[in-house]
Each structure stands twice: as C-alpha cells, then as structure tokens.
C-alpha cells in the first residue's frame, strides 16, 4: 500500500513538471515573433508555477479549502492539456489527461 502511495506521489510530481513543460512548449511554438515566443515560453510556466506555489503546493503560501485548492490545480492542468491540444499534440494531451485522472482518483481515494 505504501509503495502505491509513494509511486502516486512521484507521478503527481512528474505530472506537475509535464504541465510546466506543456505550457513552455505552447509558448515557444506559437506563430508570433521571437520576442512573444520567449515571453510566452518562459512566462506561462513561470506564472503556472507561481500560482501552484501560492495555492496548490503542499506547503502553499495560502492555505485554501481542499475543494478550492483542487479546483485551482485542476485549472492549471486543464490549461496545460489544452495548450498541448492547441499545438496539435492531441495524443499527448489525451495521454496526459488520462494519467492525470487516474492519479487524482488514487489521490482522492487515499486522502
């Protein structure tokens, strides 16, 4: 049981990193000038990490009710999945979404 929970925590962390990578990929592949690509490619993941650290992380700056905390986290993941989809990576977006749902269900069951 402990192995499953620890594995799920590791997968949660990897999903968070994948969300940041997806936002960065989106930013660097938009069809604008290089200045906008750099701003979006670096700005989107930094903004997501900032929001995550303030409200969603285990030692977040602001402790919110569980439901609100999870809604903000889900919003960050949803935007990341949509970013992949918009860049033409629908297969990756689907895989990311399915793994995320399974991960969150396991987290919810053992919470």
% of the chain exceeding 90 in pLDDT = 88
Of the candidates 41, 31, 56, 63, the residue with the CA atom closest to the CA atom of residue 107: 56
pLDDT of residue 62: 93
pLDDT of residue 40: 94
pLDDT digits (tens, 9 = 90+) for 23-76: 999 999 998 899 999 999 999 999 999 999 999 998 999 999 999 999 999 999
DSSP designation for 88: T
Q: Where are the domains of the chain?
A: 2-109
């Amino acid at each position: 049981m402990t192995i499953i929970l620890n594995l799920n925590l590791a997968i949660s962390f990897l999903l968070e990193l994948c969300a940041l990578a997806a936002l960065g990929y989106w930013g660097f592949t938009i069809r604008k000038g290089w200045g906008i690509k750099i701003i979006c490619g670096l700005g989107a993941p930094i903004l997501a990490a900032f929001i995550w650290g303030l409200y969603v992380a285990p030692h977040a700056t602001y402790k919110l009710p569980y439901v609100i905390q999870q809604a903000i986290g889900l919003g960050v993941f949803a935007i990341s999945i949509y970013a992949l989809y918009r860049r033409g990576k629908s297969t990756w977006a689907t895989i990311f979404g399915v793994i995320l749902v399974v991960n969150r269900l396991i987290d919810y069951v053992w919470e």
